[in-house]
A and B are shown apart, each in its own frame.
Chain A
């Protein structure tokens, strides 16, 4: 879907998921697969939010815990814990990465007009990975820019995070 930026009035599909009671959404076209949680191979020396790597049909997929990535309260993994395998594009190359979510909620069709801009909080707080906010049934869904969020540089650079 590279170069096919949807226009304002275009309808886009988002996969929403739950994280610490809050709803987040990612573009459905970035989603490669949705899986139940299974234990990952731990990578020594990696940051805490990188839970390890999974062998997904021959491809090595790093797993990121978004709760820890977003400095949210940690929770135990359960049978309902899901891993959303995403396809991240970075510098014209793409790689696969999994994020751990409490639960997958829905697939929403969202009009581009209904995506609210991310408020500006000043230079100190990086909001680049947030694409925008969408209100659905009275709840605010934070739509994430997967490419920026799971940028390997971003992932490795802790200082850039709030």
Chain B
């Protein structure tokens, strides 16, 4: 008798609705335990499989109970009771056990234990019973009256019926005997017939019952062996018919369930097969963190890394992982305590031995939210990490400008080899590019602008190459142009220097001319002053002329008035004469009329006629005298008029003379003022000439400075040209021959000479030196 120790008083409760299932062989060794069983027992599956079933026995359980169990099983009967079991740690748990033999081909093949959750009163009853049994106060088997009742219950049905019939027929036979004795044959016959009929019906009933039960038992056993499709009589309408129909529906449902279970199982198998064949390395843990499944890939992987793992995990055995717990890897990230709280994906990278393992652990959760276990996907990243590190080192070196190193790809395969080679090629290209750029830039630093990048590149390298080549070409072109420009500047500065010297000379000449001009201006000043004096005198003369002319005007006016009076008198005389003439005319007319009258008077009028003729003669003489006087007066009037006109003209002429004299005096005054202004103007001109003189002196000095400056500029440009010769450029832009250099005058002469010219008297000597340069002035 095995006694498992120690024990505690701690009870572990089964989860509601869960079943603990185990199978044992005929000797009581466990061949199968479901997850619930493994979980509650506290043992690992490995410990349970193959062990005797009494591994979970609790010391409180009386041995009699197990003897009864085995006795019952030997009789091929199922056994049921509440049992107290012990966990590995010593805790206890109650289960409601059903143990039954499993038949195969009509023989007991194994035993199946199914444990449910017991009811509390069941536990109490059992506990009380087991205490009594342990104290030998009770027995498992019934005794006494209980045994009799049990044995009566155990009598076969047909025997019971025979007994019942006997018990039934005995009083009837007795009654028949009484009737026979009383010779009541009629009643005897009736009773006998009734008894026969009743017996027949009873026998028939029993037969039917037996037959039905036999059939049913056969069906049940076949069902237990999962054999379906049994023939069941469904035609009866009585209770037996109902029984058969119930049985039939049970069979159908069971077959359906089995079919479904098989389907699920095949699906599970399919998934299992599929997992076996995937490339990913996968294992599955149950809720006890035991490895219950490993696909081929992970088996291969663990096999490969076994030796590496053993450096850290000496007990690691790739072949013994199934059934082992996750703790075999001894990784803090993968400890039970941490995983129990896990309800989502856990990704972790672990270094085991010297292998880099990437692990994705995912809980498997059923429909009720219960975690069934974990699925873990492993990946050996060692090579990846290695090449990552190599790439990292290479990139660091490239960052540091070290381009000579390469990744060793000989040990790599597949994608990683391609990656390594790709990075190597990339480095090659970068190295080549930088070598090219370096070469060209080095040449450029040395002044050689003829080198270029000739290797073929693509993309931004090609752009870089073109840009550098273009830069070199442009730079070369610029240097050539600058060199030409420097030569030109050199040449020009020579010309400017000689030109400046000429300019200086001209400035000196200008200065002397200005002096002469100043002298002339002084003469001009005296002349203008003379002018002003003369103008003043002329003004005075003009004024006196004006006064005299005005006096003449007055005389003319009085003459005009006198003439007017004469004219008036003449007119009056003329009027008088005209009156005389009129009188003469009238007299003549009268005389004529008198003549006419005398003629008419004839001889008597002769004397009168003579008188009239005399009168007429007088009148005519008067008329003639008047006419002559009139003519004379007219003549004198005309002459007076002419005289008046002359006088008037004289007056007008005198007025004109006065006006002219005034104008003349104004002009003379203006001339005087103009002369004064001229004098002032000439003074200003004098000052301006003096300033011009100063400025000309300054100009001369500046021209000399400019000459000196242009000479130093020439030297600078020569220096620049020399500096530019440092650059070697393509022959296609050949440097221009420098004509300026050939003609370059001696700088000493040019430098010394202008410095002297600052002093005035010495300019002559200098200008004579450069007299020949005057001819070039126009062209400058």
Give a binary string over B615-631; 1 marks a CB under 8 Å from any A CB, 0 the rest.
01000000000000000
Shortest CB-to-CB span from A85 to chain B, Å, is 10
Does any Cβ of B come within 8 Å of A41's Cβ? no
Rounded to whole angstroms, the CA-CA distance of A29 and B596 in the bound complex is 7
Shortest CB-to-CB span from A13 to chain B, Å, is 5
Does any Cβ of A come within 8 Å of B588's Cβ? yes
Residues in chain A within 8 A of chain B (CB atoms)? 13, 15, 28-29, 31-36, 79-80, 82, 104, 106-107
Contacts of A106 in B (CB 8 A): 616
Does any Cβ of A come within 8 Å of B172's Cβ? no
Contacts of A82 in B (CB 8 A): 589
B599 touches A13 (CB 8 A): yes
A104 touches B582 (CB 8 A): no
Q: Kindly report which residue of chain B lies nearest to residue A32, judged by CB atoms.
A: B596
B593 touches A36 (CB 8 A): no
A29 touches B600 (CB 8 A): yes
Q: Which of A29, A31, A33, A80 contacts B585 (CB 8 A)?
A: A80
Contacts of B599 in A (CB 8 A): 13, 28-29, 107
Report if A28-B595 is in contact (Cβ < 8 Å); known contacts: A79-B582, A107-B613. yes
Shortest CB-to-CB span from B197 to chain A, Å, is 201
Report if A36-B589 is in contact (Cβ < 8 Å); known contacts: A79-B582, A107-B613. yes
Contacts of B596 in A (CB 8 A): 15, 28, 31-34, 107
- Would you list 21 pairs from A and B whose C-beta atoms are within 8 A, ordered by A residue? A13-B595, A13-B599, A15-B596, A28-B600, A31-B596, A33-B593, A33-B596, A34-B589, A34-B592, A34-B593, A36-B585, A36-B586, A36-B589, A79-B585, A80-B585, A82-B589, A104-B588, A104-B592, A106-B616, A107-B596, A107-B616
Give a binary string over B570-595; 1 marks a CB under 8 Å from any A CB, 0 the rest.
00000000000010011011001101
Residues in chain B within 8 A of chain A (CB atoms)? 582, 585-586, 588-589, 592-593, 595-596, 599-600, 613, 616
Output the residue of A15, A28, A29, A35 with the most chain B CB within 10 A.
A28
Rounded to whole angstroms, the CA-CA distance of A28 and B595 in the bound complex is 9
Contacts of B589 in A (CB 8 A): 34-36, 82, 104
A15 touches B592 (CB 8 A): yes
Across chains A and B, which 10 residue pairs bring their CB atoms closest together, nearest first?
A107-B595, A28-B599, A13-B599, A31-B596, A34-B592, A34-B589, A34-B593, A28-B596, A104-B592, A33-B593
Shortest CB-to-CB span from A24 to chain B, Å, is 15
A-B residue pair count with CB separations less than 8 angstroms: 37
Shortest CB-to-CB span from A18 to chain B, Å, is 13
Q: Kindly report which residue of chain B lies nearest to residue A17, judged by CB atoms.
A: B592
Q: Kindly report which residue of chain B lies nearest to residue A27, judged by CB atoms.
A: B599
Rounded to whole angstroms, the CA-CA distance of A117 and B704 in the bound complex is 129
Output the residue of B582, B586, B589, B596 with the most chain A CB within 10 A.
B596
Rounded to whole angstroms, the CA-CA distance of A28 and B593 in the bound complex is 10
A107 touches B592 (CB 8 A): yes
Shortest CB-to-CB span from B331 to chain A, Å, is 167
Rounded to whole angstroms, the CA-CA distance of A31 and B593 in the bound complex is 9
Shortest CB-to-CB span from B574 to chain A, Å, is 14
Task: List 20 additional contacts besides A29-B600, A31-B596, A79-B582; criterion CB under 8 Å.
Answer: A13-B595, A13-B599, A15-B596, A28-B595, A28-B596, A28-B599, A28-B600, A29-B599, A32-B596, A33-B593, A34-B589, A34-B596, A36-B586, A80-B585, A104-B588, A104-B592, A106-B616, A107-B595, A107-B599, A107-B613
Shortest CB-to-CB span from A99 to chain B, Å, is 14
Output the residue of B589, B592, B616 with the most chain A CB within 10 A.
B592
Shortest CB-to-CB span from B265 to chain A, Å, is 170
Contacts of A28 in B (CB 8 A): 595-596, 599-600
Rounded to whole angstroms, the CA-CA distance of A15 and B591 in the bound complex is 12
Shortest CB-to-CB span from A151 to chain B, Å, is 22
Rounded to whole angstroms, the CA-CA distance of A79 and B592 in the bound complex is 17
Rounded to whole angstroms, the CA-CA distance of A79 and B585 in the bound complex is 9
Contacts of A35 in B (CB 8 A): 589
Shortest CB-to-CB span from B94 to chain A, Å, is 184
Contacts of B593 in A (CB 8 A): 33-34
Shortest CB-to-CB span from B38 to chain A, Å, is 178
Shortest CB-to-CB span from A82 to chain B, Å, is 7
Q: Kindly report which residue of chain A lies nearest to residue B596, judged by CB atoms.
A: A31
Shortest CB-to-CB span from A146 to chain B, Å, is 13
Rounded to whole angstroms, the CA-CA distance of A35 and B590 in the bound complex is 9
Contacts of B582 in A (CB 8 A): 79
Rounded to whole angstroms, the CA-CA distance of A35 and B261 in the bound complex is 188
Rounded to whole angstroms, the CA-CA distance of A107 and B593 in the bound complex is 10
Q: Kindly report which residue of chain B lies nearest to residue A106, judged by CB atoms.
A: B616
Rounded to whole angstroms, the CA-CA distance of A107 and B600 in the bound complex is 13
Contacts of A79 in B (CB 8 A): 582, 585
Contacts of B586 in A (CB 8 A): 36
Shortest CB-to-CB span from B309 to chain A, Å, is 172
Q: Kindly report which residue of chain B lies nearest to residue A35, judged by CB atoms.
A: B589
Rounded to whole angstroms, the CA-CA distance of A15 and B592 in the bound complex is 8
Shortest CB-to-CB span from A26 to chain B, Å, is 11
Q: Kindly report which residue of chain B lies nearest to residue A13, judged by CB atoms.
A: B599
Shortest CB-to-CB span from A22 to chain B, Å, is 19
Rounded to whole angstroms, the CA-CA distance of A107 and B620 in the bound complex is 13
Rounded to whole angstroms, the CA-CA distance of A35 and B589 in the bound complex is 7
Shortest CB-to-CB span from B748 to chain A, Å, is 117
Contacts of A107 in B (CB 8 A): 592, 595-596, 599, 613, 616
Contacts of A13 in B (CB 8 A): 595, 599
Q: Kindly report which residue of chain B lies nearest to residue A82, judged by CB atoms.
A: B589
Contacts of B588 in A (CB 8 A): 104
Shortest CB-to-CB span from A33 to chain B, Å, is 6
Contacts of B613 in A (CB 8 A): 107
Rounded to whole angstroms, the CA-CA distance of A45 and B600 in the bound complex is 36
Contacts of A15 in B (CB 8 A): 592, 595-596
Contacts of A104 in B (CB 8 A): 588-589, 592
Shortest CB-to-CB span from A104 to chain B, Å, is 6
Rounded to whole angstroms, the CA-CA distance of A115 and B613 in the bound complex is 23
Rounded to whole angstroms, the CA-CA distance of A33 and B594 in the bound complex is 9
